[in-house]
């Protein structure tokens, strides 16, 4: 997403003074750290299974009141004032389980989720590493699932073609920079997938603020 879209989504989180915010599947903690700065003073907990990502996150804490831990984010119980879950609904199994879990965690969710922008071809699913069509919904199906889980969408922005190109090409370039057999094949998979018919416009991504 663009810097502006991320900043707008974080600003749209309605939280009380000195909120406690949980980022489930926080990666390198960037979203939580940005959110704590925007809503300061605020306290944060970020949890991810990836030790390297958590080490990166801890290096960015500075004078913020943030704790990052290696662990299973699905085992963390609330309540929190807000939850961040961006590209990480699989923490809970799938996006439907994530939406069900959010309900007992917080009244406000900063939620980033994929959706089928168009019907995925079998070649595209294969190129994603054996994805199945039922792993995601199309945009109206995602909106319906959010509503059925008891949330309304208070803010939404969608990744555009340029956002996807920047994201996937940066992933591939970073992997190639490591210049190891597994990172070279990872980069090749991204480039091969983007070269397929529908390779750049099948998958969509929405960054949303949900309110219960």
Ligand X SMILES: C[S@@+](CC[C@H](N)C(=O)[O-])C[C@H]1O[C@@H](n2cnc3c(N)ncnc32)[C@H](O)[C@@H]1O
91 is a site residue for ligand X (CB under 6 A) = yes
Question: For ligand X, which stretch binds (CB under 6 A), given 8-16, 47-55, 103-111, 165-173?
Answer: 47-55
Residue 156 preceded by cis peptide, ω within 30 = no
53 is a site residue for ligand X (CB under 6 A) = yes
Using CB atoms, what's the residue nearest to ligand X? 27
Q: Is 48 or 168 the residue whose CB approaches ligand X more closely? A: 48
Q: Is 171 or 195 the residue whose CB approaches ligand X more closely? A: 171
Whole-number minimum distance, CB 17 to ligand X, in Å? 25
Q: Is 122 or 182 the residue whose CB approaches ligand X more closely? A: 182
Q: What angle, 0 to 180 degrees and rounded to 10, lies between the N-to-C axes of helices 139-148 and 95-102?
A: 30
For 118, which DSSP code?
Answer: S
Site size for ligand X (CB under 6 A): 17
27 is a site residue for ligand X (CB under 6 A) = yes
CB 112 within 8 A of CB 205: yes
87 is a site residue for ligand X (CB under 6 A) = yes
Q: Classify residue 36 as exposed, middle or buried by CB count within 10 Å of its CB (0-12, 13-18, 19+).
A: buried
**DSSP letters for 4-71:** HHHHHHHHT----SS-EEEEET-TTSHHHHHHHHHT-S-EEEEEES-HHHHHHHHHT-TTSEEEEEES
49 is a site residue for ligand X (CB under 6 A) = yes
Binding site for ligand X (CB under 6 A): 25-27, 31, 47-50, 53, 72-74, 86-88, 90-91
């Amino acid at each position: 997403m663009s810097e502006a879209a991320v900043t707008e989504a974080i600003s749209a989180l309605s939280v009380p003074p000195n909120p406690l915010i949980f980022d489930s599947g926080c990666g390198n903690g960037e979203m939580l750290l940005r959110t704590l700065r925007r809503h300061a003073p605020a306290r944060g907990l970020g949890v991810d299974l990836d030790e390297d990502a958590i080490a990166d996150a801890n290096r960015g804490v500075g004078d913020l009141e943030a704790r990052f831990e290696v662990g299973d984010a699905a085992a963390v119980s609330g309540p929190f004032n807000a939850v961040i879950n961006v590209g990480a609904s699989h923490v809970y199994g799938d996006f439907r389980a994530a939406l069900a879990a959010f309900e007992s965690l917080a009244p406000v969710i900063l939620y980033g989720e994929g959706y089928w922008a168009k019907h995925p071809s079998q070649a595209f699913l294969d190129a994603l590493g054996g994805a199945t069509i039922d792993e995601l919904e199309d945009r109206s199906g995602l909106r319906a699932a959010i509503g059925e889980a008891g949330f309304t969408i208070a803010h939404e922005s969608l990744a555009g073609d340029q956002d996807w190109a920047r994201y996937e090409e940066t992933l591939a370039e970073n992997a190639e920079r490591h210049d190891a057999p597994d990172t070279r094949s990872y980069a090749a998979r991204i480039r091969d997938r983007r070269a397929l018919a529908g390779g750049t416009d099948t998958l969509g991504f929405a960054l949303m603020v949900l309110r219960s």
